[in-house]
Amino acid sequence: MKFHIEGYGCSLNKADTQAIEAMLEEQGFQKTGLEKLGRKGIAIINACAVKETTEKRMLSRIEKLYAASKKQGFQLIVFGCLAKISSGKISRISESIVRLPPALESLSEFLSIGKQEFSPSKPAASEEGIISIIPICRGCLGNCSYCAVKHARGNLKSYSIQELKKAFEKEIKNGKKEVWLTAQDCGCYGFDLGTNLAELLEELLKTKGNYRIRVGMANAQHLQKFLPELLKQMKNERVFNFLHLPLQSGNDRILELMNRQYSVKEWLSTVQNARKEIPEITIATDIIVGFPTETEKEFEETLKALEKAKVDVMNISRYGKRPFTTAAKMKEVSTQVKKQRSIKATEFYNRLSLEENKRMLGKETIALIDEIGKKGNFIARSSNYKPIVLENAKIGEFVKVRVEKAEKSFLRGKISKIK
List pLDDT tens digits, range 248-263.
Answer: 999 999 999 999 999 9
From residue 155, alpha-carbon distances to 173, 188, 289 in Å are 32, 11, 27
Q: Assess if residue 283 is contained within a domain.
A: yes
Q: Do 397 and 354 share a domain, yes or no?
A: no
User: Using CA atoms, how far apart are residues 183 and 186, in angstroms rounded to an integer?
Assistant: 5
Over residues 323-328, the mean pLDDT reads 97
Residue 126 reports pLDDT greater than 80: no
Q: Assess if residue 207 is contained within a domain.
A: yes
User: Using CA atoms, how far apart are residues 181 and 129, in angstroms rounded to an integer?
Assistant: 17
Q: Do 183 and 37 share a domain, yes or no?
A: no
Residue 419 reports pLDDT greater than 70: no
Beta-carbon contacts of 353 under 8 Å, excluding residues fewer than 6 positions away, are 312, 313, 314, 408, 409
Phi, psi of 140 (to 5 degrees): -155, 180
Residue 294 reports pLDDT greater than 90: yes
Q: Assess if residue 125 is contained within a domain.
A: no
Residue-level pLDDT at 374? 84
CB 368 within 8 A of CB 398: yes
Residue-level pLDDT at 121? 85
Among residues 47, 81, 110, the one where a domain terminates is: 110
Residue-level pLDDT at 6? 96
Provide the number of structural domains found in the chain: 3
From residue 340, alpha-carbon distances to 35, 301, 330, 335, 336 in Å are 43, 16, 20, 9, 6
Q: Percent of the chain having pLDDT more than 90?
A: 95
Q: DSSP secondary structure string, 184-227?
A: S-GGGTTTTTT--HHHHHHHHTTS-SS-EEEE----HHHHTTTH
- If pLDDT is split at 50, 70 and 90, which confidence band does 101 have? very high
User: Using CA atoms, how far apart are residues 358 and 362, in angstroms rounded to an integer?
Assistant: 9
Q: Do 198 and 290 share a domain, yes or no?
A: yes
Centre a 10 Å sphere on the Cβ of residue 396 and count the other Cβ atoms it contains: 15
Residue-level pLDDT at 337? 98
Residue-level pLDDT at 125? 75
Over residues 353-377, the mean pLDDT reads 93
Q: Do 97 and 135 share a domain, yes or no?
A: no
Dihedral over Cα of 134, 138, 142, 148: its sign: positive
Which has more confidence, 269 or 128? 269
Residue 201 reports pLDDT greater than 90: yes
Q: Do 334 and 398 share a domain, yes or no?
A: no
Residue-level pLDDT at 193? 98
Q: Do 69 and 180 share a domain, yes or no?
A: no
Question: Across the strands, what pairs with 411?
Answer: 388, 406
Q: Do 263 and 397 share a domain, yes or no?
A: no
Torsion angle defined by CA atoms of residues 141, 290, 13 and 231, in that order, rounded to the nearest 10 degrees: -60
Over residues 345-371, the mean pLDDT reads 95
Q: DSSP secondary structure string, 45-88?
A: EE---SSHHHHHHHHHHHHHHHHHHHHH-PEEEEESHHHHHSHH
Q: Assess if residue 256 is contained within a domain.
A: yes
Q: Do 59 and 205 share a domain, yes or no?
A: no
From residue 219, alpha-carbon distances to 4, 209, 271 in Å are 35, 29, 11
Dihedral over Cα of 101, 102, 103, 107: its sign: positive
Residue-level pLDDT at 124? 81
Which of 79, 192, 175 minimizes the C-alpha distance to 136? 192
Q: Do 297 and 259 share a domain, yes or no?
A: yes
Residue 378 reports pLDDT greater than 80: yes
Residue-level pLDDT at 29? 96
Q: Do 278 and 302 share a domain, yes or no?
A: yes
CB 205 within 8 A of CB 239: yes
Residue 416 reports pLDDT greater than 90: no
User: Using CA atoms, how far apart are residues 45 and 86, in angstroms rounded to an integer?
Assistant: 14
Mean pLDDT of the chain: 95
